[in-house]
Amino acid sequence: MKILFYAVLLFLAGTIFSQAATRGDVKVIEASENIRYLSQKIVKDYLFLYKYPEQTEVKNKLNRELQSLSNDLRVIATTTKDSDTKDILEFLAYSKDQISEIFDQKIDEEKVALMLDYSETLLEGADSIALAHKYEFSDEEKMLMTMKKIAYLLERVTKYYMALNIGFNTTTNKEQIQNAMTEIEESLYIVSQYSYPNEIQGTQHDINYAWQANRIFFDRSETLFIPKLIFISVSYLEDTVAKLELFHSKNQ
């Protein structure tokens, strides 16, 4: 099923990329960015629940995230007129439904493996849809997208941090966490080159400082596993990133 999905996805992506995009696609791009973020966050939180099944409030959190995913899929479905995008949406809706079924079942290692697969399926689909509806971003929109990318990557790196320490210590997962960390630092470099007003510069510096503090733990993920602390720390970092995201959103 997974191989078939990727084959179809690559074909559709090649088809829709050739089509012209317009500024009116912004709603679709925003929704696809939300899906990218949720594709990592949902599975990250599911892995946390696997490690700490007594944390019943996490399941309520997961259900809220799944509802957000449904809302974003609905936005794309009601906004796009592109038939190939709608075809990709069918695959994503199927993955969302499968995730919903998994939530209703007893959590175990097999379910975790499935969730990791669905995470990448959602990500691939969201990337293809965003690519199909891409338009020429302004400088502020580029920065806004950079902030959204950092938030998504923070969820991704934490997802793999969890995976490596709960029985999924594969070569691929080790490569993925390293790639995510590299992408975060590339994005943070872009942020460091932006001239923020004085009242925002403190937030800009806080992001770099907080990331360096977190990177120490991600680099030692196989020998130092402290998920509860990491979750709190990454949440703070995402809140800080959200401040710059809001700044760029207001200055478009």
Final residue of a structural domain among 136, 167, 202: 136
> Which residues, in sequence order, are CB contacts of 127 under 8 Å at separation 6+?
32, 36
231 pLDDT more than 90: yes
Does 151 lie in the same domain as 65?
no
Concatenate the DSSP letters of all residues of 35-92 into one string: HHHHHHHHHHHHHHHHH-TT-THHHHHHHHHHHHHHHHHHHHHHH---HHHHHHHHHH
Final residue of a structural domain among 120, 136, 152: 136
Does 104 lie in the same domain as 161?
no
Does 152 lie in the same domain as 132?
no
190-200 pLDDT, tens digit each:
999 999 999 99
Calpha distance 80→61 (Å, rounded): 29
Residue 196 dihedral angles phi and psi, to the nearest 5°: -85, 150
Question: In which domain, by residue range, is 30 found?
Answer: 1-136
Final residue of a structural domain among 85, 115, 136: 136
Calpha distance 146→216 (Å, rounded): 23
pLDDT for residue 135: 83
Higher-pLDDT residue of 28 and 251 is 28
Q: Dihedral of CA 189/238/67/249: which sign? A: negative
Residue 23 confidence class, pLDDT cut points 50, 70, 90 = low
pTM of the model: 0.89
pLDDT for residue 22: 64
Does 128 lie in the same domain as 20?
yes
Summary mean pLDDT of the chain: 89
pLDDT for residue 14: 44
Most confident range (mean pLDDT) of 4-13, 15-24, 93-102, 216-225 is: 93-102
